[in-house]
Structure 1
């Protein structure tokens, strides 16, 4: 009876893996040198698992999630590799690896050394960053070949440091190529993360891995640069610095005046403050007057025309003098239409408005309306 139980224990009838960990990526099914898998044994591959059979160092069959009965029909590759005469009549020996294909989330990444960045406003900067990412095994066979080999167990910690170095290298390239100003980095985390995720996946593919999520939690600048950015923000919020300085001066004068224990020093400070506030108020009034006063530079004389009767200056285009009522309008000598004073032709009928006459004594031309000749004094009318 004891021998029968021993023999039964040497043949494995069910091959499966119940994963009770959170970070195991590869699990090798335990087989001792005396144990072998029984022909017709059951293979159970749970969701988010892939089972790989390896015979004498060569990858044989790969099983996706499901339940299988192990015999010649279900294992054609292994059958051709083993080339046994009995072809599983009793049992066979092989290595079985279970690959965990679920997502490994909340993985941390961060910069050990600062990233050098060239900025248009601040020059060369040292940038540090950190965040989280998630990844999983996409190609189980490739992952077996490239990463874990023949280890019995393989966990996330065994590969995480290497993946971090790939991530930091990729995000460094992305930040350098994006040329985002340092003051705008905090508003571009999603855009930088998307670009970095595509770059990282190109490198993960080589190892049969894929990154499923990538997030930047913080990109921090040196303290001195952050202080400079804060000062720029304050200056932008203050607006008119001249008005702000005047306000600050008034506040300081008020505080000095409210100091009861100042003694002579307070008196001196008060006198100085009084002189300061007086000058400040004078400057403010001068500025306000200059801002509100109309500019008359280069135009000291009012523009307009002079009335021929009272010599009052009235705006150009006026029909009557505002002082004496003189009419600046003339009438066409032919049709009677009112015309601006000095018009040479009528705008209605086109008749010439210049009437010439000659002096009867000297023959010189005399302006229309003149009562005496300006040349000889002869009376023209």
Structure 2
């Protein structure tokens, strides 16, 4: 390469930036070891701003359009470099292109629940998420506060900071609004607008302007949603008296289906059927009558676990064989499931049921559920 070619490559005559990444916020034009030719052409596209920096100090700012670089349209740089009038020699300076378009569909969400006090449920944990949009409104402030001397800068570099700013502001906004949790959904638009206004001064400190903020969803904890589901079910059922009568009718229907042995079972079924008819008739009558007279529970029978004879449900001993109607139950030493007192193994977990534990250290016998020896304190 000849000497002429060397100098030609060192002089920059066209300065422009074509944005290929929609998330790039700042791009530094590569002028390292090169000089910008006086009279070079600077092309700044719509939604761009070009800023010249001289030895770390911000100089001239150029908006959209095509600019010929002369001392006349670079007054700050001319003053910083102490150029004489009519200076035409190449010069060195850094050129930064700042993207001023809107960066849309930026997401925010609660990494941890927001604690707030609800007038109906008390203290609750609230989760939410949504989107927001912003743009660089003051390029010089943005370069001073955030950019530094990087070669480029995109939305991922500031994403976490902006999310935390939004969550902090919205948490304060939700608490101050004192809107009941059940009414939050009807105030999404109002809260979104208020949240955007609350964020404006915080974004402005970095040279940004927040153009939109939307709340997509605010959700309650699972346990609160279960309570709401039960409350909704009760509201659908309506009259509590009819609901109670319906519950009683369901119980009588189950009793009527009881397959008790002999005439006792048949009598119980007939009695339950008669009671069912009375309850249903009262439940669906136009003006159901209430009474304080207690209703006798239906008579049901159960089978003896030893001889299968039919006995009254409240009987403690069989009228035929005299044995206990229910086998005494004790908790399993491992899973605490109820098992027969004389069972050797648990029917749930299969653990052998020992009646005592012997201490390996002192030989003292302890109860089966003891964890430490009663004499020496050794772990069992």
Both proteins in one fold, TM over 0.5: yes
* Structure 2 equivalent of residue 314 of structure 1: none
Match of 1:242 in 2: 241
Tell me the residue number matched to 2:164: 165
C-alpha distance in structure 2 between counterparts of 1:156 and 1:269, whole Å: 76
Alignment map for 1:340-355 (pairs within 5 Å): none
Q: Distance in 2 between matches of 1:85 and 1:276?
A: 112
Q: Check whether the contact 1:45–1:64 (CA below 8 A) recurs between aligned residues.
A: yes
Whether the aligned pair in 1 keeps the contact of 2:54 and 2:93 (CA below 8 Å) is yes
Q: Does 1:79 align with 2:78?
A: yes
Is the counterpart of residue 32 in structure 1 residue 37 in structure 2? no
Q: Does 1:188 align with 2:187?
A: yes
Q: Which residue of 2 aligns with 1:213?
A: 212
Structure 1 position 64 matched with structure 2 position 63 = yes
Structure 1 CA distance for aligned equivalents of residues 268 and 110 of structure 2:
54
Which secondary structure state, in structure 1, belongs to the residue aligned with residue 194 of structure 2?
A: helix
Indicate whether 1:11 and 2:11 are aligned: yes
CA shift in 2, pair 1:274/1:28, >3 Å: same
Q: Taking structure 1 as the reference length, what is the TM-score of the superposition?
A: 0.70
SS in 1 for 2:22: coil
2:259 maps to which of 259, 262, 266: 262
Change (3 A) 1:194 1:274: same
Q: Structure 1: any 5+ residue segments left out of the alignment?
A: 292-381
* TM-superposed deviation, 1:46: 0.5
Q: In 1, Cα distance between the equivalents of 2:204 and 2:284?
A: 73
Q: Report if the CA contact (8 A) 1:127-1:222 is conserved.
A: yes
Provide the rounded CA distance (Å) in 2 between the counterparts of 1:194 and 1:284.
51
**1:92 match:** 91
Q: Is the 8 A contact 1:256 1:266 kept in 2?
A: no
- The verdict on how the C-alpha distance between 1:282 and 1:77 changes in structure 2, with shifts beyond 3 A counting, is closer
Deviations 1:12-71 (A, max 9, x none): 0011101100110000001122x0100000000001000011111211100111100000
SS at match of 1:217: strand
Deviation at 1:245, TM superposition (A): 2.7
Is this contact kept in 2: 1:52–1:61, CA < 8 A? yes
C-alpha separation in 2, matches of 1:16 and 1:187: 48
Q: Shift of the alpha carbon at 1:276?
A: 3.8
Contact 1:183–1:229, Cα closer than 8 Å, also in 2: no
Write the distance in 2 (CA, Å) between the matches of 1:179 and 1:237.
28
Task: Quote the offset at 1:271 in angstroms.
Answer: 4.4
For residues 1-381 of structure 1, the aligned pairs below 5 Å read: 2-33=2-33, 35-85=34-84, 88-250=87-249, 253=252, 262-264=259-261, 267=266, 270-271=269-270, 273-274=272-273, 276-277=275-276, 280=279, 288=287
- Alpha-carbon distance between aligned partners in 2 of 1:129 and 1:286, rounded to the nearest angstrom: 48
State how far apart, in whole Å, the 1-side matches of 2:285 and 2:42 are: 95
C-alpha distance after superposition, 1:63-119 (max 9, x if no partner): 111100000111111101110358632111111100001111111111111111100
Moved more, 4-13 or 78-87: 78-87
Q: Please give the alpha-carbon distance, in whole angstroms, between the structure 2 residues aligned to 1:236 and 1:85.
A: 86
Q: CA RMSD in A?
A: 2.5
Secondary structure in 1 aligned to 2:18? Answer: coil
In the alignment, the residues of structure 2 paired with residue 272 and residue 41 of structure 1 have an alpha-carbon distance, to the nearest angstrom, of 106
Matched pairs, number: 288
Give secondary structure in 2 for the equivalent of 1:124: strand
Q: Offset at 1:268?
A: 6.8
- Rounded Cα–Cα distance in structure 1 between residues aligned with 2:273 and 2:93: 99
Once superposed, which parts of structure 1, at least 4 consecutive aligned residues long, lie more than 6 Å away? Answer: none
Q: Secondary structure at the match of 1:245?
A: helix
Change (3 A) 1:204 1:267: farther
Q: 1:242 deviation in Å? A: 1.1
SS in structure 2 opposite 1:185?
A: helix
Give the Cα separation in 2 of the matches to 1:102 and 1:182.
37
Does structure 1 conserve the Cα–Cα contact (< 8 Å) formed by 2:249 and 2:280?
A: no
Q: Is the 8 A contact 1:253 1:270 kept in 2?
A: no
- Cα 1:39–1:184 change in 2 (3 A) is same
What is the CA–CA distance in structure 1 between the aligned matches of 2:30 and 2:265, rounded to whole Å? Answer: 90
The answer to whether the 8 A contact 2:133-2:210 is kept is yes
Residue 196 (structure 1) shift: 0.7
Contact 1:130–1:218, Cα closer than 8 Å, also in 2: yes
